[in-house]
């Protein structure tokens, strides 16, 4: 019996890349590959890359330099680059690093089996097209193996917003939504294999408009249909744009019990001047009024956001407007970054803020965000929450999981099983997690 070939995938970036890596592994399973956690043991290595952060491409080339040494000792090893850096760099990757055998963009990875056949013929393979066919339709059915209790499910890809700092429209293409019927079928399949919580993914997920049996389905409509799936206890979605947060989606937060009270809604800046230069198409005031409406629909909701500091032309007054917005919203979580130039984007041609000034602003913003995060966590002490148990902890009898508010929770002296939703009382707040005991 021929031993299976081994596939190692290193995933960079967002949850959508995590989902894509899963589907790549499944696609290659049909070619006789099984996953390994050891790159040195692999017959094929895929780097599933992200192009959002600064120097993303250089980090990939650095990793490829290390893998080149591995290939020198194992000449039959195949090395591939997938994802957004692959889309952006294309043939340049193979030119700069001849050890690479395969380059595939994020919209073409359903073609991996055919590309692998080219490798077996001694050829290289490059595919960074934006194919007309639906890649999800061409992927093999997901294997029936049991899954972890929480899973990602991509429902929308691409973005039409063209924020001045962002490469997504160029690497992922225009907004495309998967048909609602196929999303529901995949969700049911996941639930059959033990999934109890699904996070719907999209570069701009609340722009979702997929075809259903009775016509166009919005994200709110999709959530309401998913809530009817027997065994699916929890629904989340990310990442959203304020301009696509419609009335029905806001209402769903108060009307659909399965939709968890957590929302990631990036704003990027609190300054109208900077928001305009970012091409965000909303104002700080409109964003704050939107938060008010969301909290009116679901008063206990925990808000999360994204911020970029040091964007070209950002003044002290612009930065202070961001700090003021953060003080008003009081995010339970937030992700903040110093602006990094993405070649080919409109903002790339603008003069940069002094790096030391940007560093100082980032530290001040992160300190404020951390203060609010700790306050939100402290407010949870004494409350009863529901925790989806995901795995055992390091200490005997300890189980780990996520609350409905997406807090990581350590349950002490627990006999709960993985996949169970446990009722617990929060007794302690740690740096990035909560401690709890069964009620």
CATH of the domain at 119: 3.40.50.12160
CATH of the domain at 199: 3.30.750.210
Kindly state whether residue 347 falls inside one of the protein's structural domains.
yes
- pLDDT for 33 equals 92
What is the DSSP code string of 217-256?
EEHHHHHHHHTTSTT--EEEEE---GGG--HHHHHHHHH-
Asked if 330 and 410 sit in the same domain, the reply is: no
Kindly state whether residue 137 falls inside one of the protein's structural domains.
no
Kindly state whether residue 286 falls inside one of the protein's structural domains.
no
Asked if 109 and 24 sit in the same domain, the reply is: yes
- pLDDT for 134 equals 62
Asked if 301 and 237 sit in the same domain, the reply is: no
Kindly state whether residue 288 falls inside one of the protein's structural domains.
no
Asked if 150 and 246 sit in the same domain, the reply is: yes
- pLDDT for 52 equals 65
Asked if 245 and 269 sit in the same domain, the reply is: no
Region at 338 (left for phi over 0; alpha for psi -120 to 50; beta for the rest) = beta
Kindly state whether residue 169 falls inside one of the protein's structural domains.
yes
Q: DSSP label at 281?
A: -
- pLDDT for 143 equals 60
Backbone φ and ψ of 255, nearest 5°: -110, -20
Asked if 214 and 235 sit in the same domain, the reply is: yes
Locate 322 and state its tokens: 């961001």
Taking only the tens of pLDDT, the chain with its 439 residues reads 567 899 999 998 778 888 888 888 888 888 889 999 999 999 999 999 887 665 667 788 888 989 989 998 898 999 999 988 888 888 888 889 999 999 988 878 888 888 888 888 888 888 777 665 565 665 656 565 678 999 999 999 889 999 999 888 887 888 999 999 999 999 999 999 999 999 999 999 999 999 888 789 999 999 999 999 999 999 999 999 999 999 999 999 999 999 999 999 999 999 999 999 999 999 999 999 999 999 999 999 999 999 999 999 999 999 999 999 999 999 999 999 999 888 889 998 899 999 999 999 999 999 999 999 999 999 999 999 999 999 998 788 899 999 999 999 999 988 899 999 999 999 999 999 999 999 8
Asked if 122 and 10 sit in the same domain, the reply is: yes
- Counting every residue written for the chain, the total comes to 439
CATH of the domain at 390: 2.40.50.140
Domain boundary among 379, 401, 418: 379
Give the C-alpha separation, 102 to 402, whole Å. Answer: 38
CATH of the domain at 307: 3.30.750.200
Kindly state whether residue 135 falls inside one of the protein's structural domains.
no
Nearest Cα residue to 71 out of 8, 28, 13 = 8
Asked if 367 and 403 sit in the same domain, the reply is: no
Count of domains observed in the chain: 4
Kindly state whether residue 139 falls inside one of the protein's structural domains.
no
Kindly state whether residue 34 falls inside one of the protein's structural domains.
yes
Give the C-alpha separation, 213 to 19, whole Å. Answer: 26
Nearest Cα residue to 243 out of 211, 268, 212, 216 = 268
- pLDDT for 54 equals 59
Q: Is 439 annotated as a binding residue?
A: no
Domain that holds residue 160: 144-260
Give the C-alpha separation, 282 to 285, whole Å. Answer: 8
Q: CB neighbours of 24 closer than 8 A, spacing ≥ 6?
A: 9, 46, 48, 82, 109, 112
Asked if 22 and 99 sit in the same domain, the reply is: yes
Predicted structure pTM score: 0.82
Give the C-alpha separation, 438 to 433, whole Å. Answer: 16
Asked if 10 and 113 sit in the same domain, the reply is: yes
Give the C-alpha separation, 332 to 248, whole Å. Answer: 24
Q: Is 14 annotated as a binding residue?
A: yes
- pLDDT for 333 equals 94
Asked if 305 and 200 sit in the same domain, the reply is: no
Asked if 269 and 182 sit in the same domain, the reply is: no
């Amino acid at each position: 019996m021929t031993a299976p070939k081994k596939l190692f995938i290193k995933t960079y970036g967002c949850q959508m890349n995590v989902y894509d890596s899963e589907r790549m592994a499944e696609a290659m399973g049909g070619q006789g590959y099984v996953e390994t956690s050891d790159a040195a043991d692999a017959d094929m290595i895929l780097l599933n890359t992200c192009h959002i952060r600064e120097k993303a491409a250089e980090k990939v080339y650095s990793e490829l330099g290390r893998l080149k040494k591995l290939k020198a000792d194992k000449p039959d090893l195949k090395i591939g680059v997938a994802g957004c850096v692959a889309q952006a760099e294309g043939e340049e990757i193979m030119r700069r690093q001849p050890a690479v055998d395969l380059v595939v963009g994020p919209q073409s990875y359903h073609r991996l089996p055919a590309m692998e056949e080219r490798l077996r013929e001694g050829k290289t393979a490059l595919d960074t097209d934006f194919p007309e066919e639906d890649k999800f339709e061409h992927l093999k059915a997901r294997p029936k193996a049991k899954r972890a209790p929480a899973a990602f499910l991509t429902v929308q890809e691409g973005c039409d917003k063209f924020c001045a700092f962002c490469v997504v429209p160029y690497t992922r293409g225009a907004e495309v939504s998967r048909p609602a019927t196929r999303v529901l079928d995949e969700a049911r399949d996941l639930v059959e294999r033990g999934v109890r919580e699904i996070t719907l993914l999209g570069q701009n997920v609340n722009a979702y408009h997929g075809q259903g049996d009775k016509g166009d389905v919005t994200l709110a409509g999709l959530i309401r249909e998913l809530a009817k799936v027997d065994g699916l206890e929890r629904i989340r979605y990310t990442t959203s744009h304020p301009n696509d947060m419609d009335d029905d989606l806001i209402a769903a937060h108060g009307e659909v019990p399965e939709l968890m009270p957590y929302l990631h809604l990036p704003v990027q800046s609190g300054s109208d001047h900077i928001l305009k230069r970012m091409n965000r198409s909303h104002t700080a005031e409109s964003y704050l009024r939107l938060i008010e409406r969301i909290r009116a629909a679901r008063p206990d909701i925990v808000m999360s956001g994204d911020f970029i500091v040091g964007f070209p032309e950002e003044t002290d007054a612009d930065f202070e407007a961001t700090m003021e917005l953060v003080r008003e919203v009081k995010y339970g979580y937030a992700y903040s970054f110093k602006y990094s130039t993405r070649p080919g984007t409109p903002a790339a041609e603008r003069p940069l803020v002094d790096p030391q000034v940007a560093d100082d602003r980032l530290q001040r913003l992160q300190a404020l965000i951390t203060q609010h995060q700790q306050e939100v966590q402290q407010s949870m002490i004494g409350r009863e929450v529901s925790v989806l148990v995901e795995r055992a902890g390091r200490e005997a009898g300890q189980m780990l999981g996520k609350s409905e508010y997406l807090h990581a929770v350590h349950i002490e002296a627990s006999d709960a099983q993985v996949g169970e939703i446990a009722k617990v009382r929060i007794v302690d707040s740690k740096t990035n997690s909560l401690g709890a005991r069964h009620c």
